[in-house]
Structure 1
Amino acid sequence: MTITNTDSVGEYEDGPVGTKADPGPVDKKRFLVKLTGVIAGGMFIDGYILGIVGTVIGAITLDLDMSLYWEGLIGASALIGIFVGGPLGGWLADKLGRKPLFAIDLAIFILGSVMQFFVDSAWQLFAVRLLMGIAIGADYSVGWPLLSEFAPRRLRGKLLAYCEVAWYVGFMFAFVSGFLMTTVWSLDWRIVLGSSTVPAVILFLARLGMPESPRWLMNKGRTEDATEIAHAYLEDPSDVVDIANEGTRKGTFGMLFSPAYRRATIFISVFWFCAVAPYFAIATFAASVLEGYGLGDGLVGAIGVNGLALVGVMVSVLLIERVGRRKLTIPQQWVCAVVLLIIGLWSSAPPAVVLICFLVFAFANAMSTALTGVYPGEIFPTEIRGLGTGFATAFSRVGAGLGTFLLPWSMHNLGAGITMLIAAGICVVGAAVSQVLAPETMGRNLSETSAPRVGQPART
């Protein structure tokens, strides 16, 4: 099957999208903006639910008389759910299509979000947030592959990284709104947690009517449907041509660890694990961590840490299509290791120095973490793009979950210094693995970036 390099409106009859109607370049741009927005919205609510719990964890602990064990478990519950939902959602997205999962996962999230208003025990709250995490994990495995399969190559990295901006906006917004709801309005913690229902419902309605991925359709042998959608929605004519390179090979879990793709799987999984493990631990409990270092108003410091992280990921969005992926992935991880090492070794450091180190860590960590949303959609082929993204998501959430769960225990039993040294060691591992395995995918077609051993000829 050959797809000609054409984008002429005159070659299509008037009619609804999907019946060979071309909405034209303006509509294509609007579609790309909307698609990016609704995928970024999923990242926003993920950041929101993970951040909002940090603002009320103290109130929850007192109200439900929770132990340190349950405190850590509640903080990690959504992350555990993402561990389950990532691979499951990715497998279903590769098997059934991106489009149906795109709405179903959010419907499940809304159900769990509403249930937060009615919980009255620690185990109930854990179960509800576990369900929400499963839905979020599935959304990762659908959203990023879908966006990578529609985005033009000149903007693909920027748009995928932009979704990480939305995550940090959600995380930051959670701290600000949580501060207002708890301090200014004195709302019950159930209302604070349940506030995630509002953006989720808006996002669900906005996602209705999204098209199926043309690359997924081509991979399933539905050539005519893929061609129609590609001409109707893809902005770059070279991307329309490139979908002809999609094969019809069936994806399997074993492909992730085949000689062709195991380097990609190892790289993105370890890199993502090491990027989020220390950040989630520190950011989720930032207020209490900073107070432990002598900063009286820990919540204000926590907002500053997360705010600077937002700036860091925005810098990566601006630079990614100019300097490439590797330069935004590797050096920043070494910086994170150094500043955490300083905090861990300098036990008598003034509070101002500690705060500056945490701010530098947040900024540098966010710059590299922006790439965790870019690489999965680029380095895995269509037949395992959802599954590969889901597996990497799950592996990363092992790190995030362990960090969030163990940080209260480690701070209490091992002390702040040892805890920060452990975090620094994790950053070193991530930096070293990225130094060896991180590919450069800037400016390449998706069939090239996802070829076996990135940089070699595209698969046939």
Structure 2
Amino acid sequence: MSGGAEAARGERGFLRRLTLATAWGEGLDGYDLGVLSVVLPLIATSMHISPLWAGLIGASSLIGIFLGSPIVGYLTDRFGRRRLFLIDIVAFVILGLLQGVVTEPWQLFVVRLLLGVAIGAEYAIGAAMLAEFAPTRGRGRRLSKLLVFWYGGYLVSVVAAYALVDLAGWSWRWVLVTSAVPALVVLALRIGLPESPRWLMHQGRVDEARAIVDRHLGGEAHFHGEEYGLEKPGAGWRDLFAPGLRRRTIFVCTFWACLVAPYFAIFTFAPQVFAALQLADPRAGTIAANGIAAVGAVVGMLTIERMGRRRQLIGPFWIMAAALLVVGVWTHAPALVIVVCFALFSFFNALSGNLTAVYPIEVFPTDVRSTGVGIASAFSRIGAAIGTFLLPVGISTIGIGASMVIGAALCAVGALVSQTLAPETTGLTLTRTASVTGEPAARNP
């Protein structure tokens, strides 16, 4: 085998390992959040907790994400990607195991709050780490795999939780603990990964960055083709709110919040939602809806480079708004109508949900990329946490119909903001997607 062929093979192997190390981390996040949706009713019964505590525990991870994402994002931009990429997964393992020994509602709330911090760290670090190594061609598909694994992890967790509870008779504590097992696999994949060469360039460590590109990527051709040399330092996190980046910060925070708020609110309490809508089998509905979401994520990954970022975001928002509006206005609709509406919502939410791993990474410069993602993730979880906390209360007060109409309104806001502010970044190098001097008129060849 020639030296060039060996180098190409080594490059593909490295990118494959890095993609798996990142995507499995996202899958763990989906698994951890999904498994809670199944066992939360069991926790409420076992611990005799009130709806208030149920809402707090359901929203705990989302609150943790809100706290962890911007802090860890800033630390990642300040001290580098690699170290925190490893520390985060170690914390995930430890906290996952601690769920098996909690005895009081407040203890579970604290552990899951800290797990949320770890998940928020994953959002801020993982996609930035992967994007800064990935070549322009296929970067959108590669980043979309993160959300494919997220939805896959969510689906696997729901199926596994029902099986472990109903067939194996496991306690909810040990069902929650299962998240620590695949985390050990992720830990093994991450040990030994190098630092991001783009981050090193911003630190003035050019020789180290070139050495990593030479060893793991395409050498000088990759270095120049991906425009590493055009990376420019900025003023730090304050740039995110300066005139050049302010519109992008508003766009990313808003579209992400409008996308995930109704999703988390509905699917954290999926069995209760489907029961309130008088579907015959809430468990089957929960599994089916998450299965359709996983399919939507795969379709989004396969079409993102052809469809483009804007088209994959704006149209699905309007479809989701229409689907939730039908459920909200026609709460006593035939079961088939409700199932179709939730199928449409699940599919298109996941399809455009891939953009939460793509747009935030592409529109921010390297020196504030993780900070920007962290702030956007935190902002998105404000709405998600509020929705998750209020949904069980809303079902018992204003009713399921009004709750769904509110979700439809959020989707409409996301569509309007995206139509106005979303740039098209498909086919551009990461250096150019983060440019704030104006949107490039055409794609790179």
**Counterparts of residues 228-247 of structure 1 (less than 5 Å):** 228-235=211-218, 239-241=222-224, 242-247=227-232
Instruction: Give the match for residue 439 of structure 1.
Output: 423
Following the alignment from structure 2 to structure 1, what is the Cα–Cα distance between the partners of residues 350 and 377?
Answer: 16
Task: Indicate whether 1:52 and 2:31 are aligned.
Answer: no
Q: Which residue of 1 aligns with 2:96?
A: 113
SS in 2 for 1:330: helix
Query: How much has 1:108 moved relative to structure 2?
Result: 1.2
* Cα distance between partner residues in 2 of 1:67 and 1:274: 28
Deviation of 1:250 (Å): 4.6
Query: Aligned pair 1:132/2:115, yes or no?
Result: yes
Cα distance in 1 for partners of 2:439, 2:186 equals 37
Gaps in structure 1 of 5+ consecutive residues: 1-7, 11-21
How far is the alpha carbon of 1:239 from its aligned partner? Answer: 4.2
- How far, CA to CA, are the matches of 2:18 and 2:229 in structure 1? 23
Q: Structure 1: which amino acid aligns with 2:232? A: G
Alignment of 1:81-96 (within 5 A): 81-96=64-79
Amino acid of the structure 2 residue aligned with 1:357: C
- Cα distance, 1:9 vs. partner? 5.9
What SS is found at the alignment partner of 2:195?
coil
Asked whether the equivalents of residues 210 and 219 of structure 2 are also in contact (C-alpha less than 8 Å), the reply is no
User: Residues of 1 paired with 2:392 and 2:220: CA distance?
Assistant: 52
User: Within 5 A, what are the aligned runs for 1:2-21?
Assistant: none
Structure-2 separation of matches of 1:148 and 1:235: 15
Q: Which residue of 2 aligns with 1:323?
A: 307
Q: Label 1:232 to 1:75 Cα distance change in 2 as closer, same or farther (>3 A).
A: same
Aligned pairs for 1:34-433 (under 5 A) are: 34-235=17-218, 239-241=222-224, 242-251=227-236, 253-433=237-417
**Greater alpha carbon shift after TM alignment, 411-420 vs 348-357:** 348-357
Report how many residues are paired. Answer: 438
Q: Give the TM-score normalised by structure 2.
A: 0.96
Mapped to 2, the partners of 1:87 and 1:454 lie a distance apart of 26
Change (3 A) 1:150 1:110: same
Q: 1:390 is matched by which residue type in structure 2?
A: G
Note the aligned Cα RMSD (angstroms).
Answer: 1.6
Q: In 2, distance between residues paired with 1:150 and 1:453?
A: 24
Q: Which runs of 5+ in 2 are unaligned?
A: none
Sequence identity (%): 45
Q: What is the CA distance between 1:454 and its match in structure 2? A: 5.2
Using the TM superposition, give the Cα deviation of residue 23 of structure 1 relative to its aligned residue in structure 2, in angstroms.
Answer: 6.6
Q: Which region of structure 1 is more displaced relative to structure 2, 447-456 or 139-148?
A: 447-456
Q: Which amino acid aligns with 1:127?
A: V
Is this contact kept in 1: 2:213–2:219, CA < 8 A?
no
* Offset, 1:248: 3.5
Q: Are the aligned partners of 1:152 and 1:235 in contact in 2 as well (CA < 8 Å)?
A: no
Does structure 2 retain, via aligned residues, the 8 Å contact 1:218–1:248? no
Letter in 2 for 1:358: F
Q: Which piece of structure 1 moves more, 22-31 or 167-176?
A: 22-31
Report how far residue 317 of structure 1 moved.
Answer: 0.5
Which amino acid is the alignment partner of residue 77 of structure 2?
D
Query: Which whole-Å CA distance do the structure 1 matches of 2:274 and 2:41 have between them?
Result: 15
Q: Distance in 1 between matches of 2:257 and 2:358?
A: 15
Distance in 2 (alpha carbons) for counterparts of 1:424 and 1:32: 39
Q: CA deviation at 1:235?
A: 4.1
> What is the alpha-carbon distance in structure 2 between the residues aligned to residue 159 and residue 449 of structure 1?
16
Contact 2:8–2:218 under 8 Å retained in 1: yes
